[in-house]
Chain A
Amino acid sequence: MNSFSALIPLLIIVFASLCIMILEAFLKKENKDYLAYISIIFLVVCGFFLVRAWNKDFSYFNGNLFLDNLSLFFSFIFLITTFLVILISMKYISLQGVNCGEYYSLLLLALSGMLIMVSSGDLLVIFLGLEVLSISSYSLAGLRRKDEKSSEAAIKYFLLGCFASAFLVYGIALLYGATYSTDIASIINHFQSGESLGLMALIGLGMFVIGFGFKIAVVPFHMWTPDVYEGAPTPITAFFSVGPKAVGFAVLLRVLYPYLKNVQDSSKAIFLLLCIISVLTMVVGNLIALRQTNLKRILAYSSIAHAGYLLIAILAQDNASLVFYLTVYIFMNIGAFAAVIALGKKDKEYLELEDYAGIGFKYPWIGATFSVFLLSLAGFPPTGGFLAKFYVFSAAVRQDLVPLVIIGVLASLISVFYYLRIIVYMYMKEPSYEVDINIDNPGLFLVLFLCLYGVLQLGIFPGNVLILIKQAVTALL
């Protein structure tokens, strides 16, 4: 249905972002926390409009922007992501001396980019959304301007991000040349009908996948990930590890699912490419994570490895399990980063493995929740991480992708080692020096609690969410 309602959530977010940028100039330094509350209010209002649009299939701009159930579901989990990131940032910003105003406004702009990407079926619009997301992300990575690592993260992210977008644009150009359209549905139609599309379209699609491969950080396009994750402000790292990755998979789902399903003969090459990337990602990501000692780098490599499992879900063409995995992944990863942020005080963050010795007994709440998130990332029952992996792997077995599943299970066995090592440090090592942290941080503890709830709810009673996801993925059929 053509309706202005399709545009409203996006307008609210962009308006919020501009509002905060203006308000920042008028607020006194001690009142800057209000900016966080204002952005949360806007997020809630936007969430209300998203919920109201469920099952309505609104579209606008001649169908170039639409809110089907899939984009609504993804938009909603992006809102939750941003909400959680804002909560973990509030104290962090004042402790680490980051400027507030542009922080929240860039975060909301990045969110608007993600909303654009999931609610369009046109490659050009998706590219524009991606650039809104990326350009805000480059600046977010460099926001700790006095910290040389932060600037280094920004420049690395910027250069490789631009390089990836160039690949993406050239891929879109080739697809346009082969089909004279940038609309996903009509491109797929061309692939289905004409056998003579040939090499150019295939190369175009390959370059498109490679461009997104940079964004979702799969091996061999992952070089920037650990450095950017380490250098960026930690709440932003939490955002990068879930936001751009989830949105990248949402777009890949929209493009690759109909392609792999409907185009039998020419899709072999792309299928093989994705298989190789998936295996490399799982194995290399987990192996390199073994010898890291910085918590942010361990979580960076773990997020690379998770991209590999998610690719299996795309290859198995099981959309529900992919969306479920992403939902769980958001809660467990943001929770883990929240626990890392909890260990900090004025102008100091504790990020080395050594710092975590004895934390489990000294700060039992942080230790216990962090352990649950790590167990969930490793895939232990009864957490959401276990169910997510279980659904993905069983879908892959149904599609006769047994070798992939075997490699995936072995890789997640490797990953158990480095997740458990953190827990061992927290509970079984004697601290050799004093780690004192600022525990006056209600927002962060709220996030720890919410993520814990999310991980356990999705692990033990996933029923309701699964019903919503089933309704969401019918949009693709």
Chain B
Amino acid sequence: MIPLSYFLILSAVLFVLGAVAFFVKRDLITMFMAVEVMLNAANLAFITFAKSASSIDGQIIVFFIVTVAAAEAAVGLAIILLIFRQKKTIKSEDINLMKG
């Protein structure tokens, strides 16, 4: 059997990768995907902890988080579409009307 700690390490690595990609990438969709990776890293952690405690709670929490992520995606993609209609671009450096 694969030791549980491996899953936790994977989850931590995924979370950090997501956070780094959020700041490095310059494309709204990719930034949003980076956040999704971070959320799923948390899901993986929840499942691992649920397994190690042999409790069902953590697995149920994952369902809630997936639902929330879906709702976020619906609103987020709509906003990105709105931006694209107005500016014909979704590069984050072009969204710079307000500064200071």
Contacts and interface: CB of A to CB of B under 8 A. Distances in A.
A185 interface: no
A9 B65 CA distance: 25
Given A166-B39, A180-B53, A151 B76 contact: no
Interface residues of B, number: 42
Contacts of A148: 86-87, 97
Contacts of A182: 57, 61
Given A152-B97, A166-B42, A124 B61 contact: yes
Contacts of A173: 42, 45-46, 49
Given A155-B83, A173-B49, A227-B98, A166 B75 contact: no
Interface of B: prevailing SS: helix
Interface in A84-135: 124, 127-128, 131, 135
A152 B35 contact: no
Contact of B80 (A155, A177, A231): A155
A217 to B, nearest CB: 16
Most chain A beta-carbon neighbours within 10 Å: one of B18, B55, B61, B87: B61
Nearest to A173: B45
A226 B100 CA distance: 8
Interface string A129-159: 0010001001100100100110111111011
B76 A176 contact: no
A172 B45 CA distance: 10
Interface in B37-94: 38-39, 41-42, 45-46, 48-49, 52-53, 55, 57-58, 61, 64-65, 68, 71-72, 75-76, 78-80, 82-83, 86-87
B89 to A, nearest CB: 12
Given A169-B39, A226-B98, A159 B28 contact: yes
A318 interface: no
Contacts of B38: 163, 166-167, 170
Given A128-B68, A170-B15, A170-B41, A163 B35 contact: yes
Interface of A: 124, 127-128, 131, 135, 138-139, 142, 145, 148-149, 151-156, 158-159, 162-163, 165-167, 169-170, 172-174, 176-177, 180-182, 226-227, 230-231, 291-292, 297
Interface of B: 8, 15, 18-19, 22, 28, 31-32, 35, 38-39, 41-42, 45-46, 48-49, 52-53, 55, 57-58, 61, 64-65, 68, 71-72, 75-76, 78-80, 82-83, 86-87, 95, 97-100
24 contacts: A127-B68, A131-B68, A135-B71, A138-B76, A139-B75, A139-B78, A142-B82, A148-B86, A152-B97, A153-B98, A155-B79, A158-B75, A158-B76, A163-B38, A166-B15, A166-B18, A166-B38, A166-B42, A169-B39, A173-B45, A177-B8, A180-B53, A226-B100, A292-B100
10 closest pairs, A vs B, by CB? A166-B38, A177-B49, A173-B45, A169-B42, A162-B35, A170-B42, A227-B98, A180-B53, A173-B42, A131-B68
